[in-house]
Every structure is written in structure tokens, then in C-alpha cells.
Amino acid sequence: MAKAISAREIASSFSIPPRPDALIAISNEMKKSTPDAKKIAQSLKTDVTLYATVLKMINSPLFGLRNRVTSVDHATMLLGTTKVFSLVKVTALRTALDSYPGLDRFWDTAKEVAHLSTSLASRLTEIESEDAYTVGMFHDCGIPLMMQKYPDFKELLYQVNANPNLTFSNEQNSQYRVNHYEVGHQLINTWLLPEHICEAIRLQPLYTDAFSRRLDVDEKVLTLLAILIIAKHISNAFRRMWRIEDNRLKPLPPTAVFDHLGLSEMDFLDIKDKCLEELETQE
């Protein structure tokens, strides 16, 4: 009898977008005991689009720099090689996934969750802002790869959105024997993003088991996962505010998520209201 193929084995068979040459060169430099900041900047300059996008990101509110940064050399001096390397990976992966068509709404939601994750992390935890941003931006990054591999995946997405009794991960597992969280984990792991971010993304459909301690999960991963679960809930609530025909409310995250962050339900509802107000002012 043939051995059953695991979800992780199926995920590893997906076609992963290749890392750009500039990122590979920077990765090799970062493996050295003392990475050379000048060589990192030189490697990045070989990819004009990536260089410009990284600079734009560095000057975004995410890093809160007082003065505008005009070069990656300058950014490396201010932020250090590790943070710049992390930013290069995030920017390059976003650029690679931009090549997949029809993802405007996908990226709108991703940016919203990334913004909320960053804001929540700064209010409630000591998680680095770029980690919170990254986990928010790429929490559903397996979806483009699932859409590419399975022509009927978009239809399944519509069905799940229309039926509150369906669970997205369960339906994917039933139909494809893998879900986009596993595929997303495979993608960002291949791109060498930090393991705690990879794990937080993979554990999204298993968060109940994670917070009930039925799974052995690192505390930093749990904190990132808690931030992500709350950010997704608030983003979903905001989007449903503007859908008159769809006023279904998602249940609140379990109290174990609040407990991990030291929140009561009332604390959470207060934070949620403030976040919704902030999102409204950005519209």
C-alpha cells in the first residue's frame, strides 16, 4: 500500500517564485560573521526596482524615521544590516508575488492586516514592528500559489466567503489535501524569512490548539499569532461595516488569545473601536 502524502510534502511540490540575484548575494553576505554593509548596498543597487522599493519602505511610517533616507548605505547605518536584510526579503517577496494577476483586493486586505498588526504590536507587545508588519502582510501569501496550481481554487474561496458554516482550511484540506497556510509557510521558509514568522503563518488554522497548549509553540510565535488573529478580526469587521447585504459578525477570538496579551474582553473591544476609527479616517 502506497504511503499517504502529507500536507507538508504536497506544499513542498509547489512552484515557488525564485529569489532575485540581489537577494541571494545579500543572503550570502549575511552568512558571514561580520557582514559588510557596503557590499550589501552594492548588491542591492544591482536591482534598481528592488532598491527603489526598499528605500520607499524605509521612509514609510513603519520605521518612524525623522529624516528622509536617500540611500541604502544611510539606511544600513541607521537600522543595521539585520533590519535592512529583513526589509529586503519582505520587499522582494512582495514584488515576486505582484506578478500573479488579479490580486488587487488580496493586497488591499494584506496591507490593512499588516498596518493593524504593526499598530497592535506597538501597543501591546515588544514584538519588532517589522516582524508584525511581515506576518500581517504575508499571512495569506499561499493563496496566489494555490490559485495558480488549482483552477477551481477561486471558486472555493467564493463558496467559503458566502457560507459561514464552512471553514476555509478544512475545505482546502478536503479538496486538495493541503491548505494555503502550509503553502505560505513553505514559500516564506524557502525565502529564508525568520522561523517565528513562518510558524505564526502556518499555525493560523490551529490557533485554538496553540493557545490551549495542546501544541508546543514558542512564546514569540504565540505572541505574533495572537496579534495576527486580532488584526484579522478587526480587518474583517471593518470590511463588513461597508457591506449592507452582509452584516454577519465573526465571533470574537477566544479568551486565551486575550489572556496571552494580558487583555480583558472589554480591553479588546476598546482597542477594536479605536482601530476601526483609525481605518475609517484612512479611507
Q: Is residue 246 very low, low, confident or very high in pLDDT (cuts 50, 70, 90)?
A: low
Which positions ≥6 away from 39 have C-beta within 8 Å? 29
Locate 174 and state its grid cell: 478536503
Determine the pLDDT at residue 242: 65
CA distance 273 to 234: 9
Determine the pLDDT at residue 198: 97
Locate 76 and state its grid cell: 544600513
Q: Is residue 171 very low, low, confident or very high in pLDDT (cuts 50, 70, 90)?
A: very high
CA distance 99 to 118: 26
CB 175 within 8 A of CB 215: no
Q: Is residue 1 very low, low, confident or very high in pLDDT (cuts 50, 70, 90)?
A: very low
Residue 110, pLDDT > 80, answer yes
pLDDT tens digits, 11-60: 888 889 999 999 999 999 999 999 999 999 999 999 999 999 999 988 98
CA-based R_g, the chain, Å: 19
Q: Is residue 244 very low, low, confident or very high in pLDDT (cuts 50, 70, 90)?
A: very low
Residue 4, pLDDT > 80, answer no
Domain boundaries, the chain: 19-87, 100-282
Domain range 100-282, its CATH number among 3.50.50.60, 1.10.3210.10, 1.10.10.60, 3.40.50.720:
1.10.3210.10
